[in-house]
Structure 1
Amino acid sequence: MTTTQPEFTLNRPGALIAGLPAILGFVPEKSLILVAVDGGELGSVLRVDLADALADLAGRVAEVAAAAAPAAAIAVIVDAQGARCPACNDQHRRLVAALCEELADRDIVLLSAHVVDRIAAGGRWHCADGCGAGGPVDDPDASPLAAAAVLEGRRLYARRSDLQAVIAPGDPARCAAVAAVIDESVAQRVAEGADTRDRARRDIEHALTAVAALAGGREPTDVELARIGCPLTDVRVRDTLCALAIGEHAAAAELLWSELARTLPPPWRAEALVLLAFSAYSRGDGPLAGVALEAALRGAPEHRMAGLLDTALQSGLRPERIRGLADTGYRLAEQMGVQLPGRQGQGLGRRAG
């Protein structure tokens, strides 16, 4: 994810650390965070579990960071226990030394590394190399980045598990009911023969009807969810529906994709997660896009579009650079004779989560 705010500066560790929850979308705990810096601006921000980072993760973190080719980076270690533990401080120094070496091999300078006990008002940070510098963490709720997140319509979560719950499978009974309807739909489609352009057009129109209804306050039924979800494995249908991310009903579409992600069985769930990720990414919500792509790739490791979006997100590619896929959706819709909702800018609306 990439975030740039003119009011925000990187030369105060207390302010930088306080801004991390707004960037990540949740308050990180027991984490290694690498903040890319280029031209004095905040670039891509990577987070990994600290338990993993103590082994061989320095190289992998540096490799991912290098995709965006930043000139420099800042490391932040969040460790409530380790911040007060001399032995843990030794581990932190070894980790930072390994990270510094891996980054240097990729022509990235590690400007500084900080250890913080908690990212909250009253938290304390100190430099990881024992230089003696340290101080309080600014109030994360008062961070300019938090204010910007609220204005953009992004929700901030207390912990990463709360963000992951947005796309977690829902009520088992409902999921089973949707799966049963999908099985019937698949059998019917097989009996009807190969997918055609006319069928794809009808499938897209069904989804558009559900989006419009959701925008008007009517939730889709289980049968409707299955009817919309079943054809998402048709690339023409999925790629056309990507256009809704920049359309007048973008907020309702994103809510529909999140509902599908919570109810569809594999492999259809991965397609809904990709649509959700693209919608979130398009409006600058990197945290939600990230957890959706992580879940999609966990269920379908070879999914091409999920892999491409994940690579773009991890490398800090800005949202406006990936919105071209939405333009492709409008072109596909025109070819099939489907009328999509009109385009809009970055208008705010109710979003998933």
Structure 2
Amino acid sequence: MKNVEISSSSDAVALAVALSGHLPSNELVVIPQGSLGSGVPITPLDPRPSLREVGRLLAGIKGIEHHLEGRQLMAVAFGSIESAAMVGAVMERLRPDEVTPVFAYADGLARRWEGEGLFWPASGEPVDLAAHPFVVEALAAGHLQLRTRGEIRASFAPAQLGAQRAARAREALHAEQSTIVTMAPHKAAQRAYEQALSGYLDKGADRGITVSDEHAAMLAAAALDLQVRDLLLIHFTTENAPALAEVWRQVAAVLDGPNSGTAAILAAACHWASRHAVAAREALNAGLESAPEHSLGRLLERALDAGIHPSMWEHLRTAAAQAAAEQSTR
């Protein structure tokens, strides 16, 4: 997003949504002005802030300042006027010699902080986020899901398509696992790719991907075999990562238990590779809830916590490709 000009509180709120990749709810979005291509730090807010919350927020913003190396900031608080006023007060205390624009979005209205507990205008500006040009551009580019964190995480919940369908998928999964153990890993990975995965890769994540129960079972079985899963990684590129993320989300949605967790964690890896940080985190949270000891999930969790750049994915793909070449020559 280039040459952005903020001329109203509505513009500020829409920009925060467009850059955050989701619809913030009870969250603070801090934007480094003049460098919109860099990361946008997001921190949770308490709708009814206490003194302890003020201290936590102050420490968090100090950390954000360090991350952004003292650049000019703009802050947009989502959730309540009380929490947004707290943000304004903290910014004044933290940066007494600078004017940090602070905006609030609550009850569908955008407001600007004017100091001493005041927001202007008092009535606020109505914002139709879905129609704002900043949001429309981010949606069209695939950089934004106009959903809250909770809604994104719920989309990775196990067995959300019904207990009966989950039972059928579980039975098919067991049959697939029986087939896989009779095959060489590279042959099993090739079969899963050709029969169940390749047909989805030429589609965008928003272009009608519908994963059948048969394909979900085949892919889940491949993902549960570590050698087969690692060999499948060679097909995970930054270009097809959004489509793959939707495929694995649907696999997670039809299955139950740890089987669903493995699929959600692979969806998280795809979202990370395509630089959708919020979706990656929420998919990972859902996956680890179902499969708390999953080794790839814990590895990805450490990568997200450490802020490792998603370009690292290509290094993982290279290692997987080398392993695939070694397997195929045996």
TM-score normalised by the chain length of structure 2? 0.72
With over 3 angstroms needed to count, the CA separation of the structure-2 counterparts of 1:309 and 1:40, relative to structure 1, is same
* 2:27 aligned residue (20, 32, 57): 32
With over 3 angstroms needed to count, the CA separation of the structure-2 counterparts of 1:143 and 1:94, relative to structure 1, is closer
Kindly provide the amino acid, as one letter, of the partner of residue 33 in structure 1.
L
Q: Residue in 1 aligned with 2:282? A: 291
Summarize the alignment of residues 151-170 of structure 1 with structure 2, pairs less than 5 Å apart. Answer: 151-154=140-143, 156-168=145-157, 169-170=160-161
User: Residue 29 of structure 2 aligns to a residue in which SS?
Assistant: strand
Q: Residue in 2 aligned with 1:204? A: 189
With over 3 angstroms needed to count, the CA separation of the structure-2 counterparts of 1:63 and 1:228, relative to structure 1, is farther
| Per-residue deviation, 1:259 | 1.8
TM-score normalised by the chain length of structure 1? 0.68
Aligned length: 311
Say whether residues 1:77 and 2:80 are aligned partners. no
Give the Cα separation in 2 of the matches to 1:318 and 1:222.
34
Structure 1: tracts of 5 or more residues without a match: 339-353
Q: Residue in 1 aligned with 2:205? A: none
With over 3 angstroms needed to count, the CA separation of the structure-2 counterparts of 1:231 and 1:164, relative to structure 1, is same
CA contact (8 A) 2:252 2:260 kept: yes
Give the Cα separation in 2 of the matches to 1:212 and 1:13.
45
Q: Residue in 2 aligned with 1:232? A: 223
With over 3 angstroms needed to count, the CA separation of the structure-2 counterparts of 1:207 and 1:23, relative to structure 1, is farther
Higher relative contact order (CA 8 A, sep 6+): 1
Structure 2: tracts of 5 or more residues without a match: 203-207
| Per-residue deviation, 1:291 | 2.0
For each residue in 1:88-131, what CA deviation from the matched residue of structure 2 results, as whole angstroms up to 9, or x when unmatched?
4xx65556656888x89xxxx9945433324x5xx231317426
With over 3 angstroms needed to count, the CA separation of the structure-2 counterparts of 1:272 and 1:163, relative to structure 1, is same
CA contact (8 A) 1:93 1:128 kept: no
Q: Residue in 2 aligned with 1:176? A: 167
For each residue in 1:271-297, what CA deviation from the matched residue of structure 2 results, as whole angstroms up to 9, or x when unmatched?
211221222232233333232122123
Give the Cα separation in 2 of the matches to 1:179 and 1:202.
23
Give the Cα separation in 2 of the matches to 1:262 and 1:288.
15
For each residue in 1:182-226, what CA deviation from the matched residue of structure 2 results, as whole angstroms up to 9, or x when unmatched?
34555x489x69xxxx53213312320211344589965434422
Q: Residue in 1 aligned with 2:42? A: 46
CA contact (8 A) 1:178 1:226 kept: yes
Q: Residue in 2 aligned with 1:149? A: 138
Give the Cα separation in 2 of the matches to 1:60 and 1:189.
54
CA contact (8 A) 1:53 1:95 kept: no
For each residue in 1:238-279, what CA deviation from the matched residue of structure 2 results, as whole angstroms up to 9, or x when unmatched?
333233331776565334312211122332222211221222
Summarize the alignment of residues 189-200 of structure 1 with structure 2, pairs less than 5 Å apart. Answer: 199-200=184-185
Q: Residue in 2 aligned with 1:349? A: none
Give the Cα separation in 2 of the matches to 1:243 and 1:60.
41
Kindly provide the amino acid, as one letter, of the partner of residue 244 in structure 2.
A
Q: Residue in 2 aligned with 1:114? A: 103
With over 3 angstroms needed to count, the CA separation of the structure-2 counterparts of 1:301 and 1:58, relative to structure 1, is farther
Kindly provide the amino acid, as one letter, of the partner of residue 220 in structure 2.
G
For each residue in 1:121-169, what CA deviation from the matched residue of structure 2 results, as whole angstroms up to 9, or x when unmatched?
xx23131742656354765346554244234235632544443343233
